[in-house]
Structure 1
Amino acid sequence: MSVLLIEPFYGGSHKQLMDLLQEELQEDCVLCTLPAKKWHWKARTSALYFMQTVPTSSNYRFMPEHKLARLEKVIGVKRNGDAYQSEGLPGQQESRAVMKTIDAHPESGLCELQPGLCTTQHEGLPSPAAAPVQAEAPERTNPCQGEDKQHLTFNLSNILSGLDYQQRPLHIAWPHRWEHDKDPETFFKVLMKLKEQDLPFHVSVLGETFSEIPDIFSEAREVLGSSVLHWGYLPSKDDYFRALCTADVVISTAKHEFFGVAMIEAVHCGCYPLCPKALVYPEIFPAEYLYSTPEQLFKRLQNFCKRPDIVRRHLYKGETAGFSWAALGSKFRSLLAAEPREDL
């Protein structure tokens, strides 16, 4: 079995899943990716890029005979031994002309390629590669990157070490990408309202950042002031999980979410989850952990700030073990090894 994995948004939880599959499948896995930037643009254009870049192979381009015949007829793909080759795909000549023009300008930041994986480092569609190639993971920015990492890593422990566990203020974690689809505006407005009422709490904002950061982050950093325990992306998984293990509540305000790995990880580390009663969350979390409006979220946090011991004594009533690789690994392997069906 050979498996072709295609990921046009190679970052965060997407990258985590792809890396896990590649590690577990090892030599049977070919991974082709694009950087984790501009999700909507990738959704519209990545298929065109991968169509021209992914090398053909009979090992993973499983198709029923009737679909192969249709493909030959419509776009001129013909079998050549055990592989397939394309002949004049629609628009291919035009796109090659465009790529040639782009490639003439090295300052545009086009692919610096390395063997092993198929990835590019820019937002356009580069000229097709002859074989899978690998680039480094997408560049990430950290608003704290100029500070000493050791200070960032252990600042949390130093602040909390002198306080009795039950006497500490409520510790709120927000472990999501610093982008608008995670709705940081709602999250920070709720926290600012808590601050206005002089309610005690600490917050750790742990998500990954990219080149464009919503303005609300700089505004919130100033308003929240001493309530901030940690502010910025933690590249080390150990540091990240250590921060989650010291938190009491993990919050999602997302407007776009297919699963929510960060929330499950935080719950596994002992956090009490508060999620929108929308998207995928009602399928994963019991009703107790869902809110319908920002006002409801504020009231829950208001109560928790007054009585953090309630959260700290709470035992999560859902289940996270079913999302582990130990539970799902065999299902992934069975799915990826399945023979093609005529109804696909």
Structure 2
Amino acid sequence: MATAATTASTDSTRRLPCPAGLAGVVPRNRSSRVGATVRHSSTWGTRFGEFRPDGDPHLWVSVRPKPPGAEPRPVGRVEWRARQFVCWWHEHSASARGACGVAGRARCGPGVRADGGASFAGVRDQLDVILVVPWYGGSHRAWADGLASASRHRIRLVTHRDRFWRWRFQGGPVTLAADLTAEITTGGRPDCIVVSSLTDVASLVGIARRELAGIPVGIYLHEAQGAYPRTSGARRPAMEEPAVLAEWRSLCAADVVWVSSPFLRESLGSSLRMVLDRVESPTHLHLLDRVMERVRVLPPGVDLSWAGGTPEPGGAGPPLVLWNQRWDPDKAPMRVVNALAHVAARGVDFRVALVGEVPEHSRTVFETARRKLGPRVEIAGHLERSAYLELLGHADIVVSAARHEFFGIAPVEAMAAGCVPLYPDRENYPNLIPERYRPHCLHHDHDLVPRLTELLTDLARWRNSTSGLAGEMQRFDWARVAGSYDRELARLARYGHAGGEERGPM
């Protein structure tokens, strides 16, 4: 049984008797598995003190109150500092299950049944994860917030605003490193760190190397900078090639790499090969295949909790056609608008909703689209979330002609709401739609107008052909994918303790 410590310590922690039930929480050696679930038989949180594990003259444990300003947690965390385990504990009921883990490279050992009944029960359930989001806006923000809400792990966010994407790559690592260091100082070392798109992870890790020593780092890519579409004959802007190379360095530096879709994985490999083929000797091409072998597909979760039940047919009146993407050239909004204008010229009756974020550089295109379709446009521009979900419930058809879609959150939402889709047979759209629905849901550029005409003039038949598609979208709901994320985060955390079999390309 553990006894109260009587020797001096470098800490200013008060020395009190070991709290009942805590003795078995003490790791007995550093070579065992990280983490364990701990069951407590007593309620305590304000008691703290210092004691030595039974029979080990080299270790002692400090039990302290939570740091000022720290977020309350219903779990304990064990942290290795020199030859000392530091435990932060917070009050919870006797029936609660706390998680005991080890930050840095220390590991929990086998549990010892102690007075109070504390014991280990295998790898712990909850990890401490810092999620760095350099572009905290739009779909990136929705993904980060969704993961933080759905994961069983504790997710701490470090974010930058969604502005100036080029500068996020060039200057972001400096300010993100400062913010990350501050978070670790105030909240403690995490089990792992995940960084999402739009920064140079290699630079970030290098700048914060002292604070990040031993912490595994993963990267989640929403996009590939070298795979954005170009107009015919256009050269890639000089400012964008450094972003592609920053992406390459990030892949090499990360312990684990995830991408949002099979299409993105393929696009990432192709774009990197194209850029690396142009660099000076020594080339990195011989490393590319090995790095890409480590890239795993992990689709972003989508909040579809609102989409339960069987979709109802659209309301009274002509069919409502929805276009629900960002007003940027890569989404080709005018291709859809022009196609709808051709269908209208044939005398087909329909209504239109043109919704989505309208950047300042696309304001002229947006106004042109509204004028071209005239009174058929019932709703246009950006909508608040509640209004957007209400619109999804009334729309009959969703259409796109996008030249770029690395995943497609807006398409998933529209299909989950019961819209009959008409999407391009390219990008990631075929991966979203099960094979049996693809003949009814995918189009080619040359047949967009006739396919739209068929859809609008015989909507009931097309509804019948796509029956069940809405339910297929539930596989992307956070309730379904959160478990995959939690397992991947646990896999990442293990690299910090086992040295990692996938560190970099070398």
3-state secondary structure, aligned to 1:9? strand
Relative to structure 1, the CA distance from residue 6 to residue 181 in structure 2 (aligned partners, 3 Å threshold; closer, same or farther) is farther
Relative to structure 1, the CA distance from residue 291 to residue 39 in structure 2 (aligned partners, 3 Å threshold; closer, same or farther) is farther
Match of 1:22 in 2: 148
Q: Mapping of 1:197-216 within 5 angstroms?
A: 197-216=346-365
Relative to structure 1, the CA distance from residue 77 to residue 14 in structure 2 (aligned partners, 3 Å threshold; closer, same or farther) is closer
Q: Which of 442, 458, 469 is equivalent to 1:290? A: 442
Relative to structure 1, the CA distance from residue 199 to residue 78 in structure 2 (aligned partners, 3 Å threshold; closer, same or farther) is closer
Match of 2:112 in 1: none
Question: 1:18 Cα shift?
Answer: 0.7
Question: 1:203 Cα shift?
Answer: 0.8
* 1:239 correspondence with 2:390: no
Relative to structure 1, the CA distance from residue 24 to residue 299 in structure 2 (aligned partners, 3 Å threshold; closer, same or farther) is same
Match of 1:146 in 2: none
Contact 1:169–1:308, Cα closer than 8 Å, also in 2: no
Match of 1:3 in 2: 129
Relative to structure 1, the CA distance from residue 166 to residue 276 in structure 2 (aligned partners, 3 Å threshold; closer, same or farther) is same
Relative to structure 1, the CA distance from residue 34 to residue 177 in structure 2 (aligned partners, 3 Å threshold; closer, same or farther) is farther
Contact 2:151–2:483, Cα closer than 8 Å, also in 1: no
Q: Distance in 1 between matches of 2:463 and 2:134?
A: 39
Relative to structure 1, the CA distance from residue 292 to residue 315 in structure 2 (aligned partners, 3 Å threshold; closer, same or farther) is closer
Match of 2:457 in 1: 306
Structure 1 or 2: more helix by fraction: 1
> Structure 2 counterpart of 1:204, which letter?
A
Q: Distance in 2 between matches of 1:78 and 1:8?
A: 18
Q: TM-score, normalised by structure 2?
A: 0.45
Contact 2:325–2:356, Cα closer than 8 Å, also in 1: yes
Relative to structure 1, the CA distance from residue 194 to residue 216 in structure 2 (aligned partners, 3 Å threshold; closer, same or farther) is farther
Q: Mapping of 1:118-267 within 5 angstroms?
A: 168-235=317-384, 237-267=385-415
Match of 2:160 in 1: 34
3-state secondary structure, aligned to 1:273? strand
3-state secondary structure, aligned to 2:361? coil
Contact 2:150–2:479, Cα closer than 8 Å, also in 1: no
Match of 2:474 in 1: 321
Q: Distance in 1 between matches of 2:454 and 2:162?
A: 37
Q: Which of 489, 493, 499 is equivalent to 1:336? A: 489
3-state secondary structure, aligned to 1:198? coil
Contact 2:358–2:366, Cα closer than 8 Å, also in 1: no
Higher mean C-alpha deviation, range 208-217 or range 173-182 = 208-217
Contact 2:314–2:394, Cα closer than 8 Å, also in 1: no
Q: Distance in 1 between matches of 2:164 and 2:329?
A: 11
Structure 1 unaligned segments of length 5 or more: list them: 64-70, 86-163
CA RMSD of aligned residues (A): 3.1
Question: 1:50 Cα shift?
Answer: 2.6
Relative to structure 1, the CA distance from residue 45 to residue 290 in structure 2 (aligned partners, 3 Å threshold; closer, same or farther) is farther
Q: Encode CA deviations 1:110-131: one digit per residue, 9 max, x unaligned.
A: xxxxxxxxxxxxxxxxxxxxxx
Q: Encode CA deviations 1:254-280: one digit per residue, 9 max, x unaligned.
A: 222221011111111110111111111
Relative to structure 1, the CA distance from residue 78 to residue 19 in structure 2 (aligned partners, 3 Å threshold; closer, same or farther) is closer
Q: Encode CA deviations 1:103-162: one digit per residue, 9 max, x unaligned.
A: xxxxxxxxxxxxxxxxxxxxxxxxxxxxxxxxxxxxxxxxxxxxxxxxxxxxxxxxxxxx
Q: Mapping of 1:263-278 within 5 angstroms?
A: 263-278=411-426
Q: Encode CA deviations 1:199-258: one digit per residue, 9 max, x unaligned.
A: 2111111212333325221111112111112112211x3321221111111112222222
Relative to structure 1, the CA distance from residue 39 to residue 282 in structure 2 (aligned partners, 3 Å threshold; closer, same or farther) is farther
Q: Distance in 2 between matches of 1:297 and 1:7?
A: 37
Contact 1:264–1:320, Cα closer than 8 Å, also in 2: yes
Contact 1:248–1:311, Cα closer than 8 Å, also in 2: no
Question: 1:196 Cα shift?
Answer: 2.6
Q: Distance in 2 between matches of 1:34 and 1:269?
A: 32
Contact 1:188–1:216, Cα closer than 8 Å, also in 2: no
Q: Which of 34, 55, 59 is equivalent to 2:190? A: 59
Q: Distance in 2 between matches of 1:20 and 1:328?
A: 11
> Structure 1 counterpart of 2:331, which letter?
K
Relative to structure 1, the CA distance from residue 306 to residue 166 in structure 2 (aligned partners, 3 Å threshold; closer, same or farther) is farther
**Percent sequence identity over aligned pairs:** 28
Q: Distance in 2 between matches of 1:7 and 1:200?
A: 45
Contact 2:321–2:351, Cα closer than 8 Å, also in 1: yes
Q: Distance in 2 between matches of 1:331 and 1:248?
A: 32
How many equivalent pairs are there? 253
> Structure 2 counterpart of 1:243, which letter?
L
Structure 2 unaligned segments of length 5 or more: list them: 1-126, 195-201, 215-312
Q: TM-score, normalised by structure 1?
A: 0.64
Question: 1:323 Cα shift?
Answer: 0.9
Q: Encode CA deviations 1:172-202: one digit per residue, 9 max, x unaligned.
A: 1111112222111211121222233332111
3-state secondary structure, aligned to 2:341? helix
Q: Distance in 2 between matches of 1:254 and 1:260?
A: 10
Relative to structure 1, the CA distance from residue 256 to residue 36 in structure 2 (aligned partners, 3 Å threshold; closer, same or farther) is farther
Larger radius of gyration between Structure 1 and Structure 2? 2
